[in-house]
Structure 1
């Protein structure tokens, strides 16, 4: 049983790292299109979304800069390995 739990934990960690890599690539690609500089990326797992639907999803919050001397915060919601919602707030150009 312990071997199974260790293997399952490793599998979950591997899947989370895979999702994080897809999210990072998606965020960087979108910010490049908008001519923004990514400063940092963090994540948090959620069970309930904004419409009160129950499902496991991860919100990747990222800070970005448009001019180099400012900082804004956007987010990307991921469900499994697919981007579900991408939000970039209004910022200076």
Structure 2
């Protein structure tokens, strides 16, 4: 009986973490697409990787979303967006042709 309760709680925690990650990924995708549209760039792909960073002596869960974009249609560059929780923290677009 107790083992079943622990299993249910663990499954619920896993589902909650997955749901929150999907929410963050959607916010990041919208942020990247909006910024690239402002810069008149075409988004090619978006990927992500997780990492921990100790910033200002506090451990926070940072997620870096890397994205490829094209400025003229025949070239490809890679930029990134760092997210802290659900807030975009740093957006980087390298120098590219116009």
TM-score category by the smaller chain? over 0.9
Q: Compute the TM-score of the two structures, normalised by the length of structure 1.
A: 0.94
Distance 2:48 2:54 in 1: 15
Note the aligned Cα RMSD (angstroms).
1.7
Is residue 55 of structure 2 the alignment partner of residue 45 of structure 1?
A: no
Q: Compute the TM-score of the two structures, normalised by the length of structure 2.
A: 0.89
1:22-61 aligned at under 5 Å gives the runs 22-48=27-53, 54-61=59-66
**Residue matched to 1:15:** 20
List runs of 5+ in structure 2 lacking aligned partners: 1-5
Is residue 66 of structure 2 the alignment partner of residue 66 of structure 1?
A: no
List runs of 5+ in structure 1 lacking aligned partners: none
Q: Which has the larger radius of gyration?
A: 2
